[in-house]
Amino acid sequence: MNFEHITLGQRVLFGTGKAAEHVAKEVVRHEARRIMCISSEFERSLADKALASIDVALWHSDVVQHVPVETAEKARQAAADAGIDLIVCVGGGSTTGLAKAVALTSGIPIIAVPTTYAGSEATNVWGLTEGATKTTGIDDKVLPAAVIYDAELTIGLPVALSVSSGLNALAHCVDSLWAPKADPINQALGAEGVRALADGLPRIARNPHDMKGRETALYGAYLAAVAFASAGSGLHHKICHVLGGTFNLPHAETHATVLPYVLAFNGPAAPDAAARLSAALRSGMADVSASEGRAGTAEDAVSLLNELRSRLDAPVALRDYGFTEADIPEAVRRVIAAAPPSNPAAVTEESMTELMRAALAGEVPAVRALATA
């Protein structure tokens, strides 16, 4: 083996019912005096619970998905005006993304308290949208100094959003198997993340109050994010950034919808990754029936992912979120420009058009249909 791996330095505090205690400890550890809480109005009650033991100098609730530049500028100015020396963000990926936007230009440390399975809290990746283009970058200033996981804070997350957010995390795992900087360490983390998510998400779908399921899903989402942070952004995330930034499609639902089509496209060209993914899915879904003659293949991995998505009643079609046939040419043009040169399968106008059309209509993802496109 010959590879270079980077593990990001970050404190992780995991404990159901311990969010307020852990936040207070981190405030003391940072010797913070002026704290800004970023949380949407929808999640304010969760923020109140997580920050119950500390004084907050500034509550900021202007959170918008895909972090428009103008939204980021307002938050940056508010933090500067209030003399903030620590940010605590409570919420999903959009909330964490806004905290990162403030940290990017100010260097103010972040304590992240996730309430979804988005995973942004464990990466040093930032994203901002201006006009119709979403730009991402890497900067260690935006990596939260600590992440506080408390499964109790996810109880109010509707099952549908739990599913789409969890599949977004699973997409981090899958991308880490063939992204530009994929290596054996993040591939191992990604595979374990897949196993945990394939175990935890169906538990949540069956019983939203299943704490073991929510803890397992949070654990899997963290592993997914760590793997993604090391491996970098692969084709799946490039596609979803285009769909979100240019067409304003909802983040989690878009990731959940696109994932199986990218797997069906890349899987045949990355047999080792497909085999690893197949094994992880099969381990997580312990009751899945055995395959005959195709275990470990790309076809098997896609079939297992389709089975998981069926159990979760996952999103199936981009048209359900406002994407249209007329949008495909522009999306394809932007995806081709952004796609990693190292992607296992050749990214062409023809292949991406077929992938987009299949995802638009919600066709059952199949290796043969997309691998030969």
pTM of the model: 0.92
Average pLDDT over residues 324-335: 98
pLDDT tens digits, one per residue of 134-148 = 898 999 999 999 999
The structural domains of the chain, ordered by start, are: 11-154 (3.40.50.1970), 159-371 (1.20.1090.10)
In angstroms, the CA 220 to CA 150 distance is 14
Number of neighbours of residue 274 by Cβ within 10 angstroms: 26
Average pLDDT over residues 153-157: 93
Average pLDDT over residues 264-289: 93
pLDDT of residue 134: 85
Residue 369 in this model has a pLDDT that exceeds 60: no
Q: How does strand 125-130 pair with strand 133-138? A: antiparallel
Q: For a pLDDT cut of 70, what percent of the chain falls above it?
A: 97
Number of neighbours of residue 149 by Cβ within 10 angstroms: 25
pLDDT tens digits, one per residue of 2-42 = 999 988 999 999 999 999 999 999 999 999 999 999 999 99
Question: How confident is the prediction for the chain on average, in pLDDT?
Answer: 94
pLDDT tens digits, one per residue of 63-115 = 998 899 999 999 999 999 999 999 999 999 999 999 999 999 999 999 999 99
Q: How confident is the model at residue 373 (pLDDT cuts 50, 70, 90)?
A: very low
More confident residue, 263 or 368: 263
Alpha helices, H only, the chain: 19-29, 44-50, 69-81, 93-106, 159-175, 184-206, 211-231, 235-247, 251-266, 271-284, 298-312, 328-338, 349-361, 367-371
Q: For a pLDDT cut of 90, what percent of the chain falls above it?
A: 90
Q: How confident is the model at residue 367 (pLDDT cuts 50, 70, 90)?
A: confident
Q: How confident is the model at residue 372 (pLDDT cuts 50, 70, 90)?
A: very low
